[in-house]
Amino acid sequence: MSTEFVPVIGDPEPSPPPSGPRPRATVRDIPAYVPGRPPAPRAGVTTYKLSSNENPNGPLPGVLEAAVEAAGRMNRYPDMGCTELYAALGARLDVPTDHLAAGTGSVAVLYHLLQAYCETGDEVVYAWRSFEAYPIAVSVTGATSVQVPLTADGRHDLDAMAAAVTDRTKVVVVCSPNNPTGPAVGRAELEAFLDRMPPHVLVVLDEAYREFVRAADPFDGVELHRSRPTVVAMRTFAKAYGLAGLRVGYLVAHPEVAAAVRTCALPFGVSSVAQAAAVASLERESELLERVEGIVGERGRVVEALRAQGHTPPDAQGNFVWLPLGERTADFAATAERAGVMVRPFAGEGVRVSIGEPAGNDVLLGVTRDFAALGR
């Protein structure tokens, strides 16, 4: 079947249809991942990037030095086996190193896991809205996404997710705290959900923001995996550890699962610099957790102020807050940008705002105050 190209007046002449190889239809239809935009420099205006859930703190003492030292060996390939990193993680988490698989961020680890277990005709169940990389990662494998709507307060509907599991389901992803809405899944409700999962389904617990959780009944994915062979705990050094620019994440799973993920991983994917910085960060975890407490305290201040202004953010358990603004989303994002604050809008739904420097959070609260007062 041929495709007719109809130019629009004023548009440049369209390119002819490609005559060479074309990507798979599933790849052509994949939406592009949309990162949080950085602020544009503006004379006389201090700007803040609160759009990417980054840690606002710089590297911990000793971490930068370890990274620089590793960079001095950039003429050599990194350790493909991540030997020191796996040893450090194994000691920290009390797991055998053959339960570990690393990648360039936890999202890469998820890609590898889906590539290992999913193909055309399979299904992957996850809540929606959730991390926007999920549908992209699923589509790359040729599998089908089964998106289960969140509850009205931004939580996973675990009963509905369990009901969505079929014989075709290969993987279920639980994002806790949920990105971008913020609530975390409790341990009791998660265990009840896991009890309902058939043995052919892997359950991936995406714990990218677990260090920020202060809920009454938190779960620990690594602990849960010990007695449940189909549970996979997925974590990252990008958020609490402040290594977003180096891209290193990992999963903890039973040996056969971890081995399958490592098989699909890009050779030499995790750089020497990232491995060295991750190991150094684990050695300085007590200092890191002090910084995390500071972010959690700032989160509490921001949420309390938002609610006093009349906003209704869901329970925030990550390093971000969610404002369900619906059709006012684009207007709010533009207003915030004019004030010097970049947020992450989701058209027609709401905005996710990272907890950043106190000064940046104050600018945000000025925008939300004015926005509420105008009744927009």
- Look-up: residue for tokens 């509905």? 160
The per-residue pLDDT for range 22-66, each reduced to its tens digit, is 888 777 777 777 877 787 877 778 999 999 999 999 888 899 999
pLDDT given at position 9:
45
Sorted by sequence, the CB contacts under 8 Å of residue 261 that are 6+ apart come out as 101, 103, 109, 112, 113, 116, 251, 253
- Burial zone of 110 (CB within 10 Å; 0-12 exposed, 13-18 middle, 19+ buried): buried
Whether residue 116 has pLDDT greater than 60: yes
Highest mean predicted confidence (pLDDT) among 5-9, 38-42, 267-271: 267-271
Whether residue 6 has pLDDT greater than 90: no
Query: What percent of the chain has pLDDT above 70?
Result: 95
Helix orientation angle between 272-283 and 285-308, rounded to the nearest 10 degrees: 80
pLDDT band of residue 16 (cuts 50, 70, 90) is low
The per-residue pLDDT for range 172-206, each reduced to its tens digit, is 999 999 999 999 999 999 999 999 999 999 999 99
pLDDT given at position 358:
97
Q: Report d(CA 193, CA 109) in Å as an integer.
A: 23
The per-residue pLDDT for range 288-344, each reduced to its tens digit, is 999 999 999 999 999 999 999 999 999 999 999 999 999 999 999 999 999 999 999
pLDDT given at position 44:
79
163 vs 3, higher pLDDT: 163
The per-residue pLDDT for range 127-136, each reduced to its tens digit, is 999 999 999 9
Total number of residues shown for the chain: 376
The residue type at 324: P
pLDDT given at position 7:
46
pLDDT given at position 164:
98
Q: Is the pTM of this model over 0.75?
A: yes
pLDDT band of residue 13 (cuts 50, 70, 90) is low
What average pLDDT is seen over the chain? 93
Whether residue 67 has pLDDT greater than 90: yes
- Mean pLDDT throughout 145-162? 98
Sorted by sequence, the CB contacts under 8 Å of residue 268 that are 6+ apart come out as 77, 78, 80
pLDDT given at position 14:
58
Q: Report d(CA 205, CA 234) in Å as an integer.
A: 6
The residue type at 224: L
The per-residue pLDDT for range 237-263, each reduced to its tens digit, is 999 999 999 999 999 999 999 999 999
- Burial zone of 189 (CB within 10 Å; 0-12 exposed, 13-18 middle, 19+ buried): middle
pLDDT given at position 24:
81
230 vs 17, higher pLDDT: 230
Query: What percent of the chain has pLDDT above 90?
Result: 85
The per-residue pLDDT for range 274-292, each reduced to its tens digit, is 999 999 999 999 999 999 9
